[in-house]
C-alpha cells in the first residue's frame, strides 16, 4: 500500500515536471506567405479604394439613378455604413510605410519596388484620400489622431472634422514634398509609378479638401487652395484620373455585375428629362 | 386574371385568363420520403478468438424533389490470443456515402423561396414544366413582355433538377491493439488508431437559369492517427482495492482541402467542368497539421465497494500553442460513497453520494500564432497580398476548463423508484479566444487568452416502475436540467462583446450580447417603444416608434428535459419518448418576410369593424408634419363602418391615447425590422418517438428454426404538442455559422418518419 502511494507520487511528479515538447515547424502555416511584399500590399490597398468610386448612393442622391423595387436609398432612408473595411486598408498602408522605414527591411524593399520615399509618399496620399472620403461620410464621428494603433489604443476618441481636415491638408502637403526622383512604386496600378501624376493627384485632392473648408475655415482653405494650384492640379478633361478596372471578374466594374441578373437601378426622371 | 403561364407564348394557357385562387399552399412541393435500412451481423467465437462482421445499407429518399442519399457501411472486429498472455485485436469500419442534392436552407435557398417568397395561387405541378418553347421559364416573371429570364427566382424544380449538387464521403476507421498480461494484476496495452475520411463535393448553377452558370468542386480529407500506450494495475488488498492506469498518447491530425470554382460563366452549354470556365477559375488549397502528446496517471482507491477515491493527473502538449509554453497540466479528484452499504433492511435499496473536480485542456487552433498575408487574385499579373484583420498573438497558450460536480443516486423499494440529483459548475478560464476589436484600431479582432465563463445548474432525474407484475411492466422516467451560463470576465478593458446575427439593413441589426456580470447570450435589437406597457405610435405617420439596441431577453432555455415511458405487456412493448424545453428565444426571419410580403396568415382576417383587413381604408387620413395627408393611415374614430386596414392602438410620445387603422400592406411593411415582433418563445413539448414492438414467442421461432424475431413499428418526430409558432420545433432550428441555434429563416419543415423494423436472429 505504501509502495503504491510512493509510486503514484513519483509518477505524478514525473508527469508534472516534464518540460515543453519541441514540435518543430508543425505550426508554421504553409497556406499563406509569412513574409510581406510591399508592392503587393500597395496593389491590394489601391484596389480596396474601389468601393468609394462605385458606391451606389451618390448616384441616387444626385438623382442620376433611382432604385427600382427596393427604394431605401432613393428615398433617403437612414443608411448604415461600416468603416471596418477602410480602417483595415489603412493598416495595410501603414504596413507598407513600416517596411520602408524599418532599417531591417527598408533597403531590400527600396531596392526593386520603388524608392522608399516614393512608396511612403504614395501610401500617405492614399491614406489621406481614404480619410478624406471617410470624414465626408461620417463627419466628426471619426477617430483620426489615435486611430490604427492596434492594441496600443483600443478605444479611440472622435476628432472634429475641422481637426481631421487640418491634419489631412498638412499630411498631403508633406507627402507631396516627400516624393523624390527615385523610381515610383512597382505596385502602383493607378499611374504605373509615374510620380508626377501622384503630385497632380495629391494637389488636386488638396484642392478638393481646401474647398471643404471654404466656409468653416476660409483662411486655411484659401492657403491650401493656392498651394494646390501652385503645385499643379488637373487642368483639363484629358488629365482626368480614373480607377483602372480590369475586364476580369476579380477587378471589374461592379456596375456591370449589378445588372447581370437584376435591375435594381433605373435612370431617374430628373436626369432623363434634364 | 392573366397569370404567369399566360405570358409564355408556347404555353397552352397563353393569352388566357384563369381564376386567381389559392392552390392549397406549398404542401404539394414536399413528397413523402422513404428510408430503407438493411443491417446484417455475423458473429462467431471460440477458444481464443472472436469475430464479428456487420454490413449495413441505408437508402434515404428525402421529402424534397430529387434528393437522396445512400449509405454503405461494413465493419469487422476480431481478436485472438497469440499466447495465454498476449491478445491482439482489431476493429475496421469502412463507410461509403453518396448524396444527391442535400437540401439547402437559409436565405436564397429553395426553402426560403417556397416559404418566404411565394404566391399562394401557384400550381406546383405546372412549375415542373420549367422548359417551355426552348426557354427556361419561371413563375417569377419580370413583366408581360419580359417573361424570361425570371426576376428573382427560378422554378423550384429547376433548382432541384438542374442545379445539381453531389456529395460523397468515404471513411476508414480502424485500430490494432495489443494487450499483454504480465500478471493477473498488471497489464499493458498498446494501440494504434486511425481515422481517415475523404469528402468530395460538386455543385452547379445550370445554364439558362437566372444566374450565370457555374461549376464548383472540392475535395477534403482528414487523417487522424493516435498511438496509445498504457500500463494498468488492479489489485485488492483485503478490504481495499487499488487500480492505477498510467499512459501516454501521441496524436497527429492533418487536414487537406482543394476547392475550385469557375469564374464568370462556362463556355460549353450543358457541360460542367472547371476547365471550361470563362475566366481563370478560382483555386484554393488548404492544409493544416497539428500534433499533440499527453501523459497521464489515474489512481482509484476503493474500500469495501463502498468508498472510492479517484485522483488523476495529466499533462497535454500541443503544437498549436506558444512553443515556450505549450503544455497544460490538469488534475482531477473525485470521491464517491455508497452509503447504503452501511444500512440494512431499509426502504433505501441503493444510495450513493459523489463529488469531484475535473479539468481539461483547451488549446488554440492551428496557425494562430504568427501573422501571414492573404493571397488575393493577381491584378492583371501583378501580385496582390492583403494584411490580416486579426492581430496574431505569439503568446497564445492553452487554457483550462474545470468542472465541479456533486451528486447523489438513490434507489428505493427494491429499485422501483430512483432519484438522481446532480449539481454542476463548469468554468472556462483564459481559453484562447478571438476578441472583437473596435475597427478604429485598424483591426477587427485579436486572439488572446482571456475571459471567464461559468455554466451552472442542476440535473434531476426521477425514474420508477409504477406497475410490475407477471404480464405488465410500466417503466417511467422524467428528467430536467437547468443551466445558467454567465459571463464573468471578457478581457482587460472590455466589458461587452456582440455577435451580430442580422445584417444591419434588416432592422438595425440583431445581436447576441455578452456582457460582464450578465448571462451569456442576451438578445438585443430593435423594439417598439412602450410607455407604461402601451405601444408608442407616431401620430404623424401612424407607425410604431422604435428604439434600437434594446434588451429583448435571453436565447438560452431555462430548463430542458425529457419524459420517457416504456410499457411492456407480455411480448408487446410500447415506448413513448417526450422532450421539452422551457424558456429561451428564437428569431423567425421567415415570419418577418412572409408578413411583409403578405404571405403570412397574420396578413388576412377581419379587423375590429368586422371588415377584411385588406379592404381599403375609409375615414379621415392623418396629416404629416407638412400638413399633407398620409394616405395609408386613418384615425380610428373617423373610420366608416366599411373600412378595412389593421387596427392599432397605443399612446403618442406624451402618453395620450391614440388609435388608427393602417393600410394592411403598410402596416406589415413597417413591421419589417422590428425585431421584438418576430422573436418567439423557445419553449416546446414534443412527443419525439413512439415505438411498438412485438417479440415472437420462442415456441414460434423455434418452429421456423430461428433464435429470435422482433417486428416493430415506430414514429419519429411524432407530435409537436406545444410551441410558440405552431409549425416550428425550437429544438430543430437551423445551424448558423456561429454554432448558435437561434434563428429560423427559410428553414425546411421538420420530417415525421413512420417506420417498420424487422429484426431476425439466426
**Average pLDDT of chain B to the nearest whole number:** 91
Half-sphere exposure (CA, 13 Å, Cβ side) for A27? 25
pTM over 0.90: no
pLDDT the model gives residue B501: 77
Chain B residue numbers touching A21 (CB-CB < 8 A)? 293, 317, 326-327
- Chain A residues with CB-CB distance to B505 below 8 A: 80
Rounded to the nearest angstrom, the gap between the alpha carbon of residue A91 and the centroid of all alpha carbons in its chain is 8
B260 burial via Cβ count (<10 Å: 0-12, 13-18, 19+): middle
DSSP-derived letter for residue A148 is S
How far is residue A199's CA from residue A239's CA, in Å, rounded to a whole number?
Answer: 13
Task: State how far residue A268 is from chain B, nearest Cα, in angstroms.
Answer: 20
Identify the sign of the CA torsion A153, A157, A163, A164: positive
Q: B117 and chain A: CB distance < 8 Å anywhere?
A: no
B602-608: long-range contacts, CB 8 A cutoff, minimum separation 24: B602/B668, B603/B664, B603/B668, B607/B643, B607/B644, B607/B645, B607/B646, B607/B647, B607/B661, B608/B647
Distance of CA B648 to the CA centre of its chain: 37
* Confidence band for B566, pLDDT divided at 50, 70 and 90: very high
Element (H, E) at B312: strand B307-318
Write out residues 225-244 of B within 8 Å (CB-CB) of A. Answer: 237, 240, 242, 244
Rg (chain B; Cα; Å): 32
Looking at residue A8, its pLDDT comes to 79
In this structure, of A119-133, A232-246, B329-343, B487-501, the range with the lowest mean pLDDT score is B487-501
Find the largest Cα–Cα distance for chain B.
Answer: 101
- pLDDT at residue B515 greater than cutoff 70: yes
Q: What span, in angstroms and rounded, lies between the C-alpha atoms of B759 and B518?
A: 52
Helix (H, G, I), strand (E, B) or coil at B613: coil
User: Strand runs (DSSP E) across chain A, as ranges?
Assistant: 65-67, 265-267
Angle at B461 between CA B459 and CA B467, to 5 degrees: 175
CB B697 within 8 A of CB B744: no
Nearest beta carbon to residue A150 from set B329, B376, B443? B443
Interface contact flag, B211 A261, Cβ < 8 Å: yes
Among B561, B553, B557, B560, residue whose Cα is nearest residue B584: B557
Measured CA to CA, the distance from residue B472 to residue B495 in angstroms comes to 59
Cβ–Cβ contact B264 with A under 8 A: yes
Beta-carbon neighbour count of residue B140 at 10 Å?
Answer: 19
The three grid cell numbers given for residue B232, joined into one nine-digit string: 494498468
Indicate the range of B257-266, B320-329, B340-349 predicted with least confidence.
B340-349
**Does the distance separating the beta carbons of B379 and A39 come in below 8 Å?**
no
Least confident span in A15-24, A58-67, B53-62: A15-24
Beta bridge partners of B152: none
Q: Which pLDDT score, from 0 to 100, does residue B146 have?
A: 82
Contact B441 A47 (CB under 8 A): no
N-to-C CA span, chain B: 66
Mean pLDDT, all residues of chain A: 93
Which pLDDT score is estimated for B108? Answer: 66
Residue B449's contacts (CB-CB under 8 Å, 6 or more residues apart) are B395, B396, B397, B399, B430, B431, B432, B433
Asked if B367 and A83 come within 8 Å (Cβ–Cβ), the reply is: no
| CA dist., res. A35 & res. B372, Å (int) | 7
Is the pLDDT confidence value at B327 over 90?
Answer: yes
The pLDDT score that the predictor gives to residue A80 is: 76
The shortest C-alpha distance from B672 to chain A (Å) reads: 13
Chain A residues within an 8 Å CB radius of B319? 23, 26-27
Task: Return the closest-CA partner of residue B694 out of B677, B675, B708.
Answer: B708
Chain A residues with CB-CB distance to B371 below 8 A: 34
Q: Work out whether strand B390-391 and strand B445-449 pair parallel, antiparallel, or are unpaired.
A: parallel
Sign of CA pseudo-dihedral B151, B156, B157, B161: positive
Cβ proximity of A197 and A190 under 8 Å: yes
pLDDT at B690 over 90: yes
Dihedral Cα A249, A253, A258, A261, nearest 10 deg: -40
pLDDT for the residue numbered A82 = 86
Q: Residue B134's pLDDT is what?
A: 84
Long-range contacts, stretch A69-74, CB < 8 angstroms, 24+ apart: A69/A264, A70/A264, A74/A268
List the beta strands (DSSP E) in B416-509: 417-429, 432-436, 445-449, 452-468, 472-482, 484-489, 496-502
**Residue B105 reports pLDDT greater than 70:** no
pLDDT category, B599, cuts 50, 70, 90?
Answer: confident
Whether the pLDDT of residue B112 is over 80: the answer is no
Distance, CA of A213 to chain centre: 23
How far CA B538 is from CA of A219, B545, B546, B595, B607, in Å, comes to 46, 6, 10, 21, 21
- By C-alpha distance, which of B675, B698, B712 is closest to B566? B712
- How far apart, in whole angstroms, are the C-alpha atoms of residue B552 and residue B511? 10
Q: Please judge whether A87 and B244 are an interchain contact, meaning their C-beta atoms are less than 8 angstroms apart.
A: no
Tell me what pLDDT residue B506 has: 65
Closest CA to B693 of B709, B704, B707, B717: B709
B367 in reach of chain A (CB within 8 A): yes
What is the DSSP code string of A262-274?
Answer: ---EEE-HHHHT-
- Greater confidence (A63 vs A12) lies with A63
Decide: helix, strand or coil at residue B514: strand
Q: Which of B294, B288, B279 is nearest to B246 (CA)?
A: B294
Rounded distance between C-alpha atoms, residue B692 and residue B714, angstroms = 6
Confidence band, pLDDT 50/70/90 cuts, at residue A17: confident
- Measured between CA atoms, the residue of chain A closest to residue B210 is A261
Enumerate the residues of chain A whose CB falls inside 8 A of the CB of residue B491.
Answer: none
Residue A178 CB neighbours (<10 A) = 15
Interface contact B267, partner A, CB < 8 A: no
Amino acid at each position: 500500500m505504501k509502495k503504491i502511494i510512493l509510486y503514484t507520487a513519483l509518477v505524478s511528479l514525473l508527469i508534472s515536471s516534464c518540460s515543453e515538447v519541441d514540435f518543430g515547424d508543425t505550426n508554421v502555416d504553409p497556406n499563406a506567405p509569412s513574409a510581406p511584399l510591399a508592392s503587393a500590399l500597395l496593389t491590394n490597398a489601391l484596389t480596396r479604394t474601389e468601393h468609394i468610386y462605385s458606391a451606389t448612393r451618390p448616384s441616387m442622391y444626385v438623382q442620376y439613378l433611382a432604385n427600382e423595387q427596393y427604394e431605401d436609398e432613393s428615398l433617403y432612408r437612414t443608411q448604415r455604413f461600416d468603416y471596418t473595411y477602410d480602417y483595415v486598408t489603412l493598416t495595410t498602408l501603414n504596413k507598407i510605410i513600416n517596411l520602408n522605414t524599418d532599417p531591417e527591411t527598408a533597403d531590400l524593399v527600396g531596392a526593386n519596388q520603388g524608392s522608399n520615399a516614393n512608396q511612403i509618399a504614395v501610401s500617405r496620399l492614399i491614406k489621406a484620400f481614404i480619410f478624406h472620403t471617410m470624414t465626408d461620410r461620417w463627419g466628426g464621428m471619426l477617430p483620426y489622431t489615435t486611430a490604427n494603433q492596434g492594441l496600443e489604443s483600443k478605444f479611440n476618441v472622435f476628432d472634429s472634422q475641422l481637426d481631421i481636415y487640418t491634419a489631412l491638408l498638412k499630411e498631403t502637403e508633406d507627402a507631396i514634398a516627400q516624393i523624390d526622383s527615385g523610381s515610383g512604386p512597382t505596385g502602383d496600378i493607378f499611374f504605373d509609378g509615374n510620380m508626377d501624376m501622384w503630385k497632380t493627384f495629391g494637389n488636386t485632392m488638396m484642392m478638393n479638401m481646401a474647398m471643404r473648408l471654404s466656409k468653416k475655415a476660409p483662411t486655411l482653405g484659401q492657403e491650401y487652395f493656392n498651394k494646390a494650384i501652385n503645385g499643379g492640379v488637373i487642368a483639363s478633361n484629358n488629365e482626368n484620373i480614373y480607377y483602372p478596372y480590369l475586364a476580369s471578374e476579380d477587378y471589374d466594374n461592379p456596375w456591370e455585375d449589378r445588372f447581370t441578373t437584376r435591375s435594381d437601378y433605373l435612370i431617374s426622371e430628373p436626369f432623363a428629362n434634364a | 386574371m392573366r397569370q404567369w403561364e399566360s405570358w409564355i407564348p408556347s404555353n397552352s394557357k397563353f393569352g388566357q385568363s384563369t381564376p386567381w385562387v389559392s392552390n392549397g399552399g406549398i404542401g404539394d412541393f414536399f413528397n413523402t420520403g422513404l428510408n430503407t435500412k438493411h443491417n446484417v451481423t455475423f458473429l462467431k467465437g471460440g477458444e481464443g478468438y472472436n469475430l464479428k462482421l456487420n454490413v449495413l445499407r441505408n437508402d434515404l429518399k428525402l421529402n424534397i424533389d430529387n434528393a437522396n442519399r445512400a449509405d454503405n457501411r461494413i465493419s469487422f472486429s476480431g481478436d485472438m490470443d497469440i499466447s495465454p498472455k498476449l491478445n491482439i485485436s482489431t476493429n475496421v469500419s469502412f463507410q461509403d456515402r453518396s448524396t444527391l442534392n442535400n437540401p439547402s436552407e437559409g436565405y436564397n435557398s429553395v426553402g426560403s423561396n417556397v416559404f418566404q417568397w411565394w404566391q399562394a395561387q401557384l400550381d406546383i405541378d405546372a412549375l415542373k414544366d420549367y422548359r417551355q418553347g426552348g426557354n427556361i421559364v419561371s413563375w417569377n416573371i419580370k413583366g408581360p413582355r419580359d417573361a424570361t429570364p425570371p426576376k428573382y427566382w427560378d422554378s423550384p424544380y429547376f433548382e432541384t433538377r438542374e442545379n445539381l449538387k453531389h456529395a460523397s464521403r468515404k471513411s476508414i476507421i480502424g485500430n490494432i491493439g495489443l494487450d499483454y498480461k504480465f500478471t493477473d494484476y498488471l497489464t499493458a496495452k498498446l494501440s494504434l488508431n486511425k481515422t481517415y475520411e475523404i469528402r468530395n463535393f460538386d455543385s452547379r448553377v445550370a445554364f439558362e437559369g437566372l444566374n450565370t452558370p457555374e461549376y464548383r468542386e472540392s475535395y477534403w480529407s482528414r487523417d487522424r492517427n493516435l498511438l496509445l500506450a498504457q500500463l494498468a494495475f488492479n489489485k485488492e488488498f483485503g478490504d481495499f482495492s487499488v487500480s492505477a492506469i498510467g499512459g501516454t498518447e501521441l496524436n497527429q491530425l492533418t487536414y487537406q482541402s482543394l476547392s475550385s470554382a469557375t469564374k464568370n460563366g462556362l463556355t460549353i452549354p450543358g457541360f460542367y467542368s472547371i476547365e471550361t470556365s470563362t475566366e481563370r477559375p478560382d483555386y484554393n488549397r488548404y492544409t493544416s497539421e497539428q500534433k499533440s502528446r499527453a501523459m497521464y496517471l489515474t489512481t482509484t482507491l476503493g474500500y469495501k465497494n463502498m468508498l472510492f477515491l479517484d485522483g488523476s493527473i495529466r499533462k497535454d502538449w500541443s503544437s498549436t500553442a506558444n512553443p515556450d509554453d505549450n503544455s497544460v497540466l490538469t488534475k482531477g479528484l473525485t470521491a464517491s460513497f455508497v452509503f447504503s452499504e452501511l444500512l440494512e433492511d431499509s426502504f433505501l435499496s441503493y444510495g450513493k453520494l459523489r463529488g469531484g473536480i475535473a479539468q481539461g485542456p483547451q488549446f488554440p487552433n492551428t496557425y494562430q500564432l504568427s501573422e501571414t498575408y492573404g493571397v488575393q487574385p493577381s491584378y492583371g499579373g501583378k501580385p496582390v497580398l492583403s494584411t490580416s484583420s486579426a492581430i496574431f498573438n505569439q503568446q497564445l497558450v492553452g487554457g483550462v476548463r474545470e468542472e465541479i460536480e456533486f451528486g447523489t443516486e438513490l434507489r428505493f423499494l427494491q429499485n422501483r423508484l430512483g432519484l438522481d440529483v446532480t449539481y454542476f459548475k463548469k468554468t472556462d478560464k483564459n481559453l484562447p479566444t478571438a476578441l472583437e476589436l473596435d475597427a478604429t484600431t485598424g483591426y477587427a479582432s485579436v486572439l488572446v487568452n482571456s475571459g471567464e465563463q461559468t455554466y451552472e445548474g442542476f440535473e434531476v432525474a426521477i425514474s420508477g416502475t409504477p406497475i410490475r407484475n407477471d404480464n405488465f411492466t410500466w417503466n417511467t422516467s422524467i428528467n430536467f436540467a437547468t443551466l445558467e451560463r454567465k459571463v464573468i470576465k471578457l478581457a482587460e478593458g472590455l466589458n461587452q462583446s456582440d455577435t451580430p446575427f442580422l445584417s444591419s439593413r434588416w432592422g438595425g441589426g440583431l445581436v447576441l450580447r455578452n456582457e460582464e456580470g450578465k448571462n451569456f447570450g442576451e438578445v438585443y435589437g430593435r423594439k417598439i417603444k412602450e410607455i407604461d406597457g402601451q405601444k408608442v405610435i407616431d401620430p404623424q405617420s401612424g407607425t410604431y416608434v422604435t428604439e434600437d439596441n434594446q434588451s429583448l431577453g435571453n436565447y438560452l432555455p431555462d430548463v430542458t428535459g425529457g419524459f420517457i415511458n416504456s410499457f411492456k405487456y407480455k411480448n408487446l412493448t410500447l415506448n413513448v419518448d417526450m422532450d421539452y424545453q422551457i424558456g429561451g428565444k428564437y428569431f423567425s426571419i421567415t415570419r418577418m418576410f412572409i408578413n411583409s410580403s403578405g404571405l403570412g396568415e397574420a396578413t388576412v382576417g377581419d379587423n375590429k369593424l368586422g371588415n377584411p383587413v385588406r379592404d381599403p381604408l375609409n375615414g379621415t387620413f392623418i396629416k404629416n408634419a407638412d400638413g399633407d395627408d398620409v394616405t395609408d393611415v386613418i384615425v380610428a374614430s373617423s373610420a366608416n363602418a366599411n373600412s378595412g386596414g389593421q387596427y392599432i392602438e397605443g399612446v403618442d410620445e406624451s402618453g395620450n391615447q391614440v388609435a388608427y387603422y393602417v393600410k394592411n400592406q403598410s402596416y406589415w411593411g413597417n413591421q419589417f425590422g422590428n425585431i421584438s415582433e418576430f422573436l418567439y418563445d423557445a419553449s416546446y413539448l414534443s412527443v419525439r418517438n413512439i415505438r411498438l414492438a412485438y417479440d415472437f414467442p420462442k415456441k414460434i421461432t423455434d418452429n421456423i428454426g430461428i433464435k429470435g424475431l422482433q417486428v416493430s413499428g415506430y414514429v419519429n418526430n411524432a407530435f409537436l404538442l406545444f410551441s410558440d409558432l405552431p409549425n416550428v420545433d425550437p429544438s430543430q432550428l437551423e445551424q448558423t455559422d456561429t454554432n448558435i441555434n437561434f434563428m429560423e429563416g427559410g428553414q425546411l419543415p421538420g420530417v415525421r418518419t413512420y417506420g417498420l423494423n424487422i429484426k431476425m436472429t439466426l
